[in-house]
Amino acid sequence: MNITVNGEPQALADGSTLAQLVEARLPSTRGVAAAVDGTVAPRTGWTEFVLRDGQAVELLTATQGG
Amino acid sequence: MTDSFIVDDSLIVAGEKLGSRLILGTGGAPSMQVVAEALTASRTALCTVSIRRAGTTTDGSIVDVLAEHGVRLLPNTAGCRTAREAVTTAQLARDALGTDWVKLEVVADEHTLLPDPVELLRAAEKLVADGFDVFAYTNDDPVLARHLQRTGCVAVMPLGAPIGSGLGILNPHNIELIVAEATVPVVLDAGVGTASDAALAMELGCDAVLLASAVTRARQPALMAAAMAAAVDAGRLAYRAGRIPRRRHAQASSPTTGMPVL
């Protein structure tokens, strides 16, 4: 299946979870939050969150600003 | 030394005591090293951070740097243009960082970066209902500040001037009006260009000052951070001390009696 992650296309094995995606993309999950199709996907539910074809994932963290 | 020096004059916001009345933003600093030096020099206890895509910087984690300095995080919704965006960003910040505190920022356009009052109030209502401690970045409008306060925001943060402009406090009368009605801390947020602006904010009765660019874009950020800390302290002391009234004519400070005839 194909999804977008932070605005870029990404191919992913069917049945992949959000937890697997985060682990593959980022060095650490600390301080990271995720939104799927514009809605918050709480950290506590990542291991059960099975991604679907066409979904848009945003992986976010704190950065300098404000 | 009088009693007034001994009393604990700490800022209390959302039930928490903060060790400084200077709140720093971290945006605009050329490196994390500069941020770290500014944090130390400012003696701040609270710092705002933005929520952005992960994995785009390699300059270390701002969260780690703040933790090392014992500085509390105040995530913000900078860049949001609608209540919906701001609420979602606040929820993401809470999930990522484990804090209910949020600096709510909903700007109307990129040109002025002025708060959009309609979207701001709408977002504040939703976030307060969702259990957030909302620090509302707002216009220097006493009526809007009143609404935000009634909504349950834990602090109202009127701008002195547009973000990053360094124009100082354009409408000190409005800031005084906001302070006069305040039932929650008032934080002068945005517009500070140099130390005297921060001192004036405190002299007007603000409970704290939040600034970023004035420090991070100064020629020497750490020096300016130290200047801001001193200015906030001086302004607060002057406010508590009570300034003399302005007079149209001179008033001699030397005795007028006992003058010799020469």
Distance CA B43, CA B47 (A): 11
Distance CA B243, CA B82 (A): 42
Mutation choice for B interface testing from A25, A28, A32, A61 by most B CBs within 10 A: A61
pLDDT at B59: 64
* Token pair 């000190």: residue: B172
User: Given the DSSP bridges, would you call strands B11-13 and B16-18 parallel, antiparallel or unpaired?
Assistant: antiparallel
Does any CB of chain A come closer than 8 Å to the CB of residue B44?
A: no
Mean pLDDT of B130-134: 98
The string of pLDDT tens digits covering residues B47-62 is 999 999 998 766 678 8
Mutation choice for A interface testing from B53, B94, B113 by most A CBs within 10 A: B53
Q: Which of A26, A38, A64 is facing B29, going by the closest CB pair?
A: A64
Q: Which of A38, A61, A65 is facing B88, going by the closest CB pair?
A: A38
User: Contact B95/A66, CB-based, under 8 Å?
Assistant: no
The string of pLDDT tens digits covering residues B23-56 is 999 888 888 889 999 999 999 999 999 999 998 7
The residues facing B101 across adjacent strands are B133
The residues facing B186 across adjacent strands are B156
Q: Are B206 and B178 spatial neighbours (Cβ–Cβ below 8 Å)?
A: no
User: Contact A65/B25, CB-based, under 8 Å?
Assistant: yes
The residues facing B138 across adjacent strands are B158
Q: Where are the alpha helices (DSSP H) in A1-66?
A: 18-25
- Residue B103 among the catalytic residues: yes
Distance CA B26, CA A58 (A): 23
Q: Are B100 and B131 spatial neighbours (Cβ–Cβ below 8 Å)?
A: yes
User: Contact B88/A39, CB-based, under 8 Å?
Assistant: yes
DSSP state of A42: -
Dig out the tokens for A50 from the structure.
């099975």
Q: In the predicted model, is pLDDT for residue B2 greater than 60?
A: no
User: Contact B53/A25, CB-based, under 8 Å?
Assistant: no
Chain B residues closer than 8 Å to A30 by CB? 63
User: Contact B97/A62, CB-based, under 8 Å?
Assistant: yes
The string of pLDDT tens digits covering residues B178-189 is 999 999 999 999
The string of pLDDT tens digits covering residues B224-253 is 999 999 999 999 999 999 999 999 999 888
In degrees and rounded to multiples of 5, residue B107 shows phi and psi of: -100, 155
In degrees and rounded to multiples of 5, residue B186 shows phi and psi of: -105, 125
Distance CA B203, CA A39 (A): 43
Dig out the tokens for B161 from the structure.
């001037």
Chain B residues closer than 8 Å to A58 by CB? 53
Does any CB of chain A come closer than 8 Å to the CB of residue B61?
A: yes
Q: Give the distance from residue B251's alpha carbon to the nearest chain A alpha carbon, in angstroms.
A: 45
Chain A residues closer than 8 Å to B88 by CB? 35, 38-40
In degrees and rounded to multiples of 5, residue B46 shows phi and psi of: -145, 135
pTM: 0.92
Chain A residues closer than 8 Å to B78 by CB? 65-66
Distances from the Cα of B244 to the Cαs of B41, B198, B205, in angstroms?
32, 20, 15
- What is the secondary structure of B22-37 as a DSSP string? EEEE-TT-SSHHHHHH
Residue from B231, B154, B220, B143 nearest B192 by CA? B231
For chain B, percent of residues with pLDDT exceeding 90 = 84
The string of pLDDT tens digits covering residues B188-232 is 999 999 999 999 999 999 999 999 999 999 999 999 999 999 999
pLDDT at B58: 61
Q: Which of B28, B62, B212 is facing A63, going by the closest CB pair?
A: B62
Rounded to two decimals, the ipTM of the complex is 0.94
Q: Which of B27, B96, B105 is facing A61, going by the closest CB pair?
A: B96
